[in-house]
Structure 1
Amino acid sequence: MKFRNLLLIVLLAVTFQLSAQQPTLLPQFTFYRLDGKAFSNADIKQGKKNLFILFDCTCEHCQRETKMLNASYAQFKDVNIYMITMDEAYIIPQFFDSYAKGLNSKPNVLILQDKKRMFIPTFLPKQYPSMYLYSSTGKLLMYQSGDGGIKKLAKVVGK
C-alpha cells in the first residue's frame, strides 16, 4: 500500500512538472483584434518567425521591455510580433503612447486582447512579460520572461 501511494505521488509530481513547461509547438489559440475580430493560428502571416508577448499595461517590467522592443525594432522588423493583453481596449493606446510610441502601428506588430483569458492556461507563462519566439513552422525557439528578454531574443532573431 505504501509503495502504491509513493508511486502515485511520484507520478503526480512528474505530471505536474511536465505540464508546467512552455509548449514547444505553437498551441491553438483565438485572441481578438482591437476591433473585436477574432484572430487565430490560421491568421498568422506565413514564412516568418513569430514573437508572442503577453503584457499588462500596468506592469513596470512590461513597460520597460516594450520600450526596449521599440528602441531595437530594426532587429525585429522581419518577425511577426503579436502582443497579447487581458487589459481593456481603452487603456492599450495610452500604454503605447507612453512607453513605445508608434510600435503598435508598425506593419508587423499586431495588438491582441485575450478576452477569454486563455493565454495563461495555454502558453503557461511564468510572469509578465512573457515572450515566446516561434519559428515559421511553429517550433519554440526561445522563451523569456521578466526583464532582459528583448535583448536575449534579439540575439536569436538574427540567426
Structure 2
Amino acid sequence: MKNFLTIFLLMVLFTSCTKQDKTENVTTRVINELPHLKFTSLDGTIKSTRDLPTPLILVLFNADCDHCQRQAQEVGKHLNEVSNITLQFIAADDLPTIQKFATEYGLNNQPNLNFGRADATDVYMNFGSIPTPAIYLYSADKRLLKNFKGETPVAELVAPFR
C-alpha cells in the first residue's frame, strides 16, 4: 500500500509539472504576434485586431479606471506625436460607456484613434490576466515590439516606432 501511494504521488507530480510547461509555451507564442481578438467598434461593426492598420498601439482599458483616464488624457495632449500610428482602445464596458469615454477625453474624432468593445473572456484568452491600462505596441508586420502595464508617457509609446 505504501509503494502504491508513493507511485501515485509521483505520477501526480509528474503530470502537474508537464502541464505547466505547455501553458508557458502557449502564452509566449500568443504574446509575440498580434492576436485575433474580435471586437465591436463604436458603429457596431465586428472587427478583428488582425485586420487593423499597422503600426499599432493597442490599449486595453476600463472606462472607470483612473489610470486609464489619465492615460487617455496623456494621449489627448500628444495627438500630433501619434498621428502616424493607429491607436485602438478596447474595453469590456458597454458601447455607450466607451463612446462617452472617447468623447470626454477628446479622442472620438481622431482619424487614427478607434474605440471598441471586446468580451472580457476573449481578452483574457488572448492576453491573460492584465492590469488596466495594458498597452501593446505592434510593428508593421504585426510583431510585438513592446508592452506596458499601467500609465505610460506617450514619448515611451512612440519611441519604438522611430
| Category of TM-score, reference length = shorter chain | 0.7 to 0.9
Please state how far the C-alpha of 1:66 moved relative to its aligned partner: 1.1
Pick from 90, 96, 99: which aligns with 1:93?
99
Structure showing greater Rg = 2
Aligned Cα root-mean-square deviation (Å): 2.3
Structure 2: 5+ residue stretches without partners: 1-6
Structure 1 counterpart SS, 2:89: strand
Work out whether 1:7 is the aligned partner of 2:11: no
Structure 1: 5+ residue stretches without partners: none
More helix, by proportion: 2
Structure 2 counterpart SS, 1:28: coil
With structure 2 as the length reference, what TM-score do the two structures score? Answer: 0.81
CA contact (8 A) 1:86 1:117 kept: no
Q: Which residue of 2 aligns with 1:118?
A: 122
Deviates more, 1:48-57 or 1:145-154: 145-154
Q: How many residues align?
A: 154
Alignment of 1:1-159 (within 5 A): 1=7, 2-21=9-28, 23-41=31-49, 43-45=51-53, 48-98=54-104, 100-101=105-106, 103-115=107-119, 117-148=121-152, 150-157=154-161, 159=162
Deviates more, 1:22-31 or 1:112-121: 112-121
Deviations 1:41-90 (A, max 9, x none): 46422xx3111111111001100111111112222111111111111122
